């Protein structure tokens, strides 16, 4: 056998080349789909962790605000009357406005460690607001923070001194003489119920000190 015959015997046929190209195309497609699946899974996992983190932070902030509820009424923005330490009605846009303690002052600013906080539901977004001064005026613009999106509903209930759940606060029987509300009264406990579009219902019961 001469040299040219041996070289022809060592080559590939057209069918073998086509089969090889086909197999490479199939393997490349499978590898791309696997990579795309991993990418999508990573994005879904990241979104889930981000969502759960937002829910956890919101519940923690709600709990902390009520756990640190202080019996300190504030003046209204025009300075003509006083507002209760806790003013709440979950049937309104402003779900609850309260005075809380424990506002950290690491910068040593000339301000109180009390903070006036408002929780409100804007459409399906739960928002927390606070003022930079306790007895705010019309010139004090609240600091707003979006806490949680896709909230279907939120319900707050308050346990009074007789261990009866109230939908609003101050409770009707919390009077300070004829026709007067006790502006500094606090509930025994607060029940928070969050209804989320993707995670269902979350309920948290908070004991209020004092």
The answer to whether the beta carbons of residues 121 and 154 sit under 8 Å apart is yes
In this predicted model, what pLDDT tens digit does every residue of 123-181 receive, in sequence order? 999 999 999 888 988 888 999 999 999 999 999 999 999 999 999 999 865 544 334 45
Instruction: Tokens for 171, please give them.
Output: 């409770």
Q: Given this model, what pLDDT does residue 176 score? A: 47
Q: Given this model, what pLDDT does residue 17 score? A: 77
Kindly tell me the burial class for residue 190, based on how many C-beta atoms sit within 10 Å of its own C-beta (0-12, 13-18, 19 or more).
buried
Reported in sequence order, the residue ranges of the chain that DSSP labels E, i.e. its strands, are: 74-75, 82-83, 86-89, 94-100, 115-122, 125-130, 143-148, 151-159, 165-166, 168-169, 189-196, 200-207
Instruction: Tokens for 85, please give them.
Output: 């330490």
Q: Given this model, what pLDDT does residue 88 score? A: 93
d(CA 173, CA 171): 6
What is the set of domains in the chain, with CATH numbers?
1-210 (3.10.610.10)
Q: Given this model, what pLDDT does residue 179 score? A: 40
Q: Given this model, what pLDDT does residue 180 score? A: 44
**Parts of the chain with a pLDDT under 50:** 7, 175-180
Q: Given this model, what pLDDT does residue 115 score? A: 93
Q: Given this model, what pLDDT does residue 2 score? A: 55
Cis peptide before 3 (omega within 30 of 0): no
What does the mean pLDDT of the chain come to? 85
Place of tokens 């990573």: 42
The answer to whether the beta carbons of residues 58 and 196 sit under 8 Å apart is no
């Amino acid at each position: 056998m001469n040299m040219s015959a041996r070289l022809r015997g060592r080559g590939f046929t057209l069918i073998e080349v086509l089969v090889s190209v086909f197999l490479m195309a199939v393997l490349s497609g499978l590898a791309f789909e696997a990579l795309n699946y991993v990418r999508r899974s990573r994005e879904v996992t990241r979104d889930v962790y981000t969502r759960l983190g937002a829910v956890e932070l919101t519940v923690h902030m709600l709990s902390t605000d009520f756990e640190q509820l202080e019996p300190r009424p504030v003046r209204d923005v025009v300075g003509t009357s006083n507002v209760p330490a806790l003013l709440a009605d979950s049937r309104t846009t402003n779900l609850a406005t309260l005075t809380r303690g424990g506002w950290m002052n690491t910068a040593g600013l000339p301000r109180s460690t009390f903070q006036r906080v408002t929780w409100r539901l804007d459409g399906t977004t739960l928002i927390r607001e606070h003022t930079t001064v306790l007895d705010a005026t019309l010139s004090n613009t609240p600091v707003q923070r979006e806490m949680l999106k896709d909230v279907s509903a939120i319900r707050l209930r308050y346990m009074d001194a007789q261990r009866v759940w109230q939908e609003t606060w101050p409770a009707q029987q919390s009077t300070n003489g004829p026709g007067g509300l006790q502006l500094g009264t606090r509930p025994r406990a607060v029940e928070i119920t969050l209804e989320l579009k993707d995670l269902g219902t979350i309920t948290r019961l908070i004991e209020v000190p004092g």
